[in-house]
Amino acid sequence: SSGINAEWPLRPGRHQSKCFLRQPPANEIYRHENISLFEVDGAKNKLYCRNLCLLAKMFLDHKTLYYDVEPFLFYVLTLNDDYGSHLVGYFSKEKNCVRNYNLSCIMTLPHTQRQGYGKLLIDFSYVLSKLEGKPGTPEKPLSDLGLISYRSYWRCKVLTYIKPHINDNVIITDISKSTGILFEDLVLALHDLEILDYDDKSTDCDSALIPLL
């Protein structure tokens, strides 16, 4: 077998003595206090991105991509200290996607989960969508856990948007433009919240109104 032998000793010290990389091999595009986000091009840093994908395969049953990384950008979230930038998680995004997917795969390491880092990565994917001037959506189908996470995120963004418009009728397309979230995903969130209604005089789904009183 050419697999990893479970009896082989792990020598992290040997690796550290030869590897002087203390942060992802890319430009830092965001920093807040001790949190950073790096944009890594799969075409320019193939080995690093392949290793990221192989690491994700340890925690994601449905993860299949690990070799063909060139068409993707990888957004790597780290926690920083005096020793360097330590991986928290990442998401990948196809560079030229005709279906408006703003996220292909997302992973946070187990010891960093339930601390808000996953939602931070999701939020950043929608920031990119807004910068591109078009709504985005994660690649489908989502895993069961991924669907739970996204529906929670969508509900939160909807409620945040409509709170200052409590006395108004809100059109879903306005929410989409403000949040970068695809119209169909917003409809799911509004159904979850049970606040969706339609204009009886129109058959256009884009004219759906949300009664807030």
- Catalytic residue list: 139
| DSSP secondary structure letters along 71-83 | TEEEEEEEEEETT
Distances from the Cα of 53 to the Cα of 34, 40, 49, 63, 196, angstroms: 24, 13, 6, 8, 39
Distances from the Cα of 52 to the Cα of 57, 93, 136, 151, angstroms: 9, 14, 23, 26
Q: Is 4 left (phi over 0), alpha (psi -120 to 50) or beta?
A: beta
